[in-house]
Chains A and B, each alone.
Chain A
Amino acid sequence: MNVLLDNLSLFREGFIGTLELTGASALVAMVLGVIIAGFRVSPVPPLRIFGALWVTLLRNTPLTLLFLVAFFVVPKVLFPDLDSFLLAVCACGFYTSAFVAEAVRSGINTVPLGQAEAARSIGMTFTQTMSLVVLPQATRTVVPPLSSIFIALTKNTAIAGAFNNVDLFNVSKTLSNDGYDIAVIFLWITLAYLIVTYAINGLFRLLEHRLEVAR
């Protein structure tokens, strides 16, 4: 019981760390995911190929491997001075963007082709067709899978804790090194993760409700 009370500030730091990692990675994943999904349905073949490669490569690579590349290869050959938070956000964000892209693409596919044809026939460019006509109608279908993806992302950020980031997983390591009972530490850590994932769950349920009403 006193694991929590004795280390309240450490727990808070880890909790905020997990929140920040999840939030920043989710933002990166969302933006990149929508762009990559756009690439995958674009009329320009090189963009389609790039999109397909991005998804195939990132979705099929273990996240731990991506972290190893981000922390040991990227600083050596590309950017030597990036801090570990940024590297972790990139690894988690890029990885998750592949899943977001596929969810968005499945949403795009549910919008009848005629909608895009009508948009093109009044002179809209591809980007306008996507952003003004197709994506707004795809949103409703994309929301439920996105909630699963972001919950998975929350749990995946734990890997960042093993790479020099202070998050909940990192805190559990520190505390067990300090000699506290592992079972009790894990109980509290799990509860903290549950708070984050359950909040995401609720947020998306709210969003789904909103979109239902708007129709």
Chain B
Amino acid sequence: MAEVSVTKDAAPAADELVALKNVNKHFGALHVLQDIDLTIAAGEVVVVIGPSGSGKSTLCRAINRLETVESGTITIDGKPLPQEGKELARLRADVGMVFQSFNLFAHKTVLENVMLGQVKVRKVEKAAAAQKARALLDRVGVGTQADKYPAQLSGGQQQRVAIARALAMDPKVMLFDEPTSALDPEMINEVLEVMQQLARDGMTMIVVTHEMGFARSAANRVVFMADGRIVEQATPDEFFNNPRSDRAKDFLSKILHH
């Protein structure tokens, strides 16, 4: 295929944290993931972009097995994804996920949202979990909202709580599935700033987004997907200034010129 890969300078290939090999998936007749090969090193920030329906979100969701794949292997920290069950649950605890629609637990307060996983999955003491939750909420800038319910918060605040909830599990890698797509324009930045800070702190991140500014400033590598394939991988500079594939040129010309 027209795959043009560029080896990234930032991280060595030895400590690959997430590896997808020859992954395929269909939704009925639609071949959403076609022979996907992708490795992500520890500490790397990979931004996945591409037109709607190109399989970006499916790729992201397949990494913690919210979507099953039909063939190929996905390994996280050297361990292949297990079947649905306790072992998969344990592995998911190490993979933070942030959704487009926040998905905060609607019947729990903000603080309880960030505590729940720690207490029930990590078996942390309640007091310690609350302390950590408050620290994380402060870190993402919503510490004052701790006792409110998710519905009482703005979208941007909810998404930052969702990031704190994922961070509370001390994940090895964070998946972001279009984290700003459901937000009003003025709230996008507050979420992106939190993500940028996270990237600076060395978190391994896979980010599906339409925010080209974020891709430029925070990514080590841009993965461009179209029609279920990875068409191009490059550093942000290289990808945005000098895309190699026609598909990427076409995509960029449509989004960057206004």
Chain A residues within 8 Å of B, Cβ to Cβ: 43, 112, 114-115, 117-126, 128, 132-133, 136-137
B66 contact set on A, CB distance < 8 A: 117, 120-121
A115 contact set on B, CB distance < 8 A: 103, 105-106
- B89 near A123 with CB under 8 A, answer yes
A119 contact set on B, CB distance < 8 A: 105
A137 contact set on B, CB distance < 8 A: 106-107
**Pairs A–B under 8 Å by Cβ, sample size 20:** A112-B103, A114-B99, A114-B101, A115-B106, A117-B66, A118-B99, A118-B162, A118-B165, A120-B66, A120-B92, A121-B66, A121-B97, A122-B97, A122-B116, A122-B117, A123-B93, A123-B117, A125-B85, A125-B86, A132-B116
CB nearest neighbor in A for B65: A120
Alpha-carbon gap, A132 to B169, bound state (A):
17
Is B90 an interface residue when CB atoms closer than 8 A count as contact? yes
Contact of B64 among A121, A126, A128 (CB under 8 A): A121
From known contacts A43-B84, A132-B120, infer whether A121 and B92 are also in contact, taking CB-CB under 8 Å.
yes
Distance (Å) between the CB of A133 and the closest chain B CB?
Answer: 6
Contact of A122 among B84, B86, B107, B165 (CB under 8 A): B165
- A128 near B120 with CB under 8 A, answer yes
Distance (Å) between the CB of A107 and the closest chain B CB?
Answer: 13
Chain B residues within 8 Å of A, Cβ to Cβ: 64, 66, 84-86, 89-97, 99, 101, 103-107, 116-117, 120-122, 162, 165-166, 169
CB nearest neighbor in A for B92: A123
- B107 near A120 with CB under 8 A, answer no
Distance (Å) between the CB of B198 and the closest chain A CB?
Answer: 17
B165 contact set on A, CB distance < 8 A: 118, 122
A128 contact set on B, CB distance < 8 A: 120-121
Distance (Å) between the CB of B207 and the closest chain A CB?
Answer: 15
A43 contact set on B, CB distance < 8 A: 84
Alpha-carbon gap, A183 to B96, bound state (A):
69
Alpha-carbon gap, A137 to B107, bound state (A):
7
Alpha-carbon gap, A119 to B64, bound state (A):
12
- B89 near A125 with CB under 8 A, answer yes
Contact of B89 among A114, A120, A132, A133 (CB under 8 A): A120
- A117 near B116 with CB under 8 A, answer no
Distance (Å) between the CB of A24 and the closest chain B CB?
Answer: 30
- B89 near A118 with CB under 8 A, answer no
Give 15 A-B pairs besides A118-B97, A120-B66, A122-B93 with Cβ atoms closer than 8 angstroms: A114-B101, A119-B105, A121-B92, A122-B165, A122-B166, A123-B90, A123-B94, A123-B169, A124-B89, A124-B117, A124-B121, A128-B120, A132-B116, A132-B120, A137-B107
Alpha-carbon gap, A133 to B121, bound state (A):
13
Distance (Å) between the CB of A161 and the closest chain B CB?
Answer: 41
A124 contact set on B, CB distance < 8 A: 89, 117, 120-121
